[in-house]
Structure 1
Amino acid sequence: MRFIKYFLLGLIVLVVIFLVFPKTVKEEANLHNSNFFERESFFKGAEIVENNHITYDKKISGGIIPHHLLAGFIISDFFKRLTFNPPKTIILIGPNHYEKGNFKSLTSLYGWNTPFGIVSSDREKISKLVDVNLLKIDEETLPGDHSVVGIMPYIKFYLPNTKVVLILLSGLMTENDVKLLSDSLKTVSDENTTIIASVDFSHYLRGVEAQEKDKKTLELIKNYNYPGLFSLNNDYLDSASSVSVLLMTMQSLNKMNMEVLQNTNSGVIENDNTRQSTSYFSIVYY
């Protein structure tokens, strides 16, 4: 009898919790951890940016950043500039490094737990993209890919009130696939939305070789040369589709003013041009 009494009491308590705090309980349950966080690199980059006393008066509609966290100071620099005209939503697009999932373009409805707090997903925009069958929700694949998840701490640190739409793109995306996705991104974009391609550039080459590859890639980007971008391999960049979605959307939104903020590689950063390197761009569109 006593067991039944305590069981019923416990049941009542649970019901009250879910009735009084349903939203809180649901939000806490629907969270992924941002597992890619390198504390030393993050705070070193943040310190460099603060010491540079950056100001920026342009309203950034789009951009390209690295996701290799060795280049944390480049990522911090980009997001610091966004703080002067902070967007309500960031659409962050990156490569599906491991080609997981059963669709070419994947997203997540969950929020992201970072060392600085929770980054909320923009469920309204995500639902619109899912409804037209251009994205599939995949809560298994996204948490394991650093191309977008590694950026979450930067967003929360610099833009604490900004929501996100995370998109992973397969290397199997065609130019037509990219065009369809770009057309839909235009419909969910406004003056309070910033679209970012999280992409690393030349891979596995020495620094001097990487610099030469970057020159070619930058010319293709400047000329919106999509066939040229799709012809490139990892010697040049790790996601032509992510860059192309960004460029097509900037074209359609008439946000084609471009500024290259930074271009370097890990050989330069580590002062060793004899080793294999990864190269990085930071570019803004406005």
Structure 2
Amino acid sequence: MFLLLVFTLYSILFFNNEPNSLVLSKDLVANSHPLYSFEEELFFNGVNSVNKQNLWKSDIYGGIVPHHTIASPLISGFFYNLSKQEVKTIIVAGPNHDNEGDADAATSRIPWETPFGLLSVDEDLIAEMIFETGVELKDDIISDEQSIAALVAYFKYYLPETNIVPIILKSGFDISNVEKLSEYLSQKINKEIVLIVSVDFSHYLSFDVAQKKDEITLSLIKDNNINGIYGLNSDYLDSPPSISLLIRTMEKAGADNPEVLAHSNSALFLEKPISSTTSYFIITYR
């Protein structure tokens, strides 16, 4: 009877009678990051758009995924494929958009609330990373950072048993810091511990101009040219440090052949011409 009562209460908190529909939970525990804004319809549109026959040919060590949730079909497709891999921990790095706080690189050791339950972190790996690299523990500034928080529902939905290691990087996180952190991460990366960077590309440009900027950015990524990437602004991408961290980590781990699986733009998802767009790539490393 007790178990039945618990299950019933869980169902009331999380689900209603509509398929693929959720009722957002209240705070589950005091010591967790609160639920980030969750757009249910947009999320499940992405879930339902996934082509489940078009699977990756092999496991990955790293990749690039958007955090702009208009691109939910791309995000869902990425994590659906990743869910077929035996992943225990996802290291996810992205921009500290507002350059908040005094840490150039920040992480958190508390879980995230999602509509699908608590998303746990890999506490041991985080503790070691802090000790070895100087990444700082800053729970307060990471809670509502879009580059991490916008993806936590996808992590929990597609990889419910997987832990994460969140890292947010200020724009001032320089190449010497990239080299140090990538040296550490490259020793941890394998098919069970993958590095994902959460990055959106060209911002606030027309579709045609964005396409041209994306060609330049992609060329630099394929050439592993982090000096060139550090010379780019938001016309091209929102986090040169995050992309550079991925490139260097993959190089050092011996998985430095990027494969572009998707390239798109918010104008295409909205199906209308707009003057200010955002562009996206899905790129994997094997």
TM-score category (smaller protein): 0.7 to 0.9
- Indicate how the Cα distance of structure 1 residues 106 and 243 shifts in structure 2: closer, same or farther if over 3 A, else same: same
Check the 8 A contact 2:65/2:197 in 1, yes or no: yes
1:204-243 alignment runs, 5 A limit? 204-243=204-243
* Structure 2 spans left out of the alignment, 5+ residues: 1-27
CA distance in 2, matches of 1:52, 1:215: 29
Give TM-score scaled by structure 2 length.
Answer: 0.87
Give TM-score scaled by structure 1 length.
Answer: 0.87
Q: Please, what is the CA RMSD of the aligned residues?
A: 1.4
Cα shift readout 1:40-86 (whole Å, capped 9, x = no counterpart): 1110000000x553323311110000000100110000001111113
CA distance in 2, matches of 1:135, 1:46: 33
Aligned counterpart, 2:265: 265
CA distance in 2, matches of 1:165, 1:266: 28
Where does structure 1 differ by over 3 angstroms across 4 or more consecutive aligned residues? 51-54
CA distance in 1, matches of 2:230, 2:80: 31
CA distance in 2, matches of 1:249, 1:194: 11
Aligned counterpart, 1:170: 170
Cα shift readout 1:16-44 (whole Å, capped 9, x = no counterpart): xxxxxxxxxxx944311231321111100
Q: CA deviation at 1:107?
A: 0.3
What secondary structure sits across from 1:31 in the alignment?
coil
Check the 8 A contact 1:121/1:163 in 2, yes or no: yes
Aligned counterpart, 1:47: 48
Aligned counterpart, 2:36: 35
Check the 8 A contact 2:213/2:236 in 1, yes or no: yes
CA distance in 2, matches of 1:142, 1:188: 23
Quick one: which amino acid aligns to residue 269 of structure 2?
A: I
- Indicate how the Cα distance of structure 1 residues 84 and 218 shifts in structure 2: closer, same or farther if over 3 A, else same: same
Q: Max radius of gyration: which structure?
A: 1
Matched, 1:96 2:96: yes
Check the 8 A contact 2:95/2:242 in 1, yes or no: yes
Q: CA deviation at 1:191?
A: 3.0
1:1-286 alignment runs, 5 A limit? 28-49=29-50, 51-286=51-286
CA distance in 1, matches of 2:189, 2:56: 22
Check the 8 A contact 2:61/2:285 in 1, yes or no: yes
Q: CA deviation at 1:215?
A: 0.4
* Structure 1 spans left out of the alignment, 5+ residues: 1-26
**Structure with the largest fraction of helix:** 1
Q: CA deviation at 1:133?
A: 4.4
Percent identity reads 39
CA distance in 2, matches of 1:240, 1:255: 20
CA distance in 2, matches of 1:40, 1:91: 27
Q: CA deviation at 1:257?
A: 3.0
Cα shift readout 1:76-124 (whole Å, capped 9, x = no counterpart): 0000111111310000000001111111000000011100111110011
Number of aligned residue pairs: give it: 259
Cα shift readout 1:171-228 (whole Å, capped 9, x = no counterpart): 0111111111111112333331110010000000001110110000000000000110
Q: Which moved more, 1:74-83 or 1:263-272?
A: 263-272
Cα shift readout 1:121-167 (whole Å, capped 9, x = no counterpart): 00111001111242111111001211111100001100011000000
Quick one: which amino acid aligns to residue 40 of structure 1?
A: E
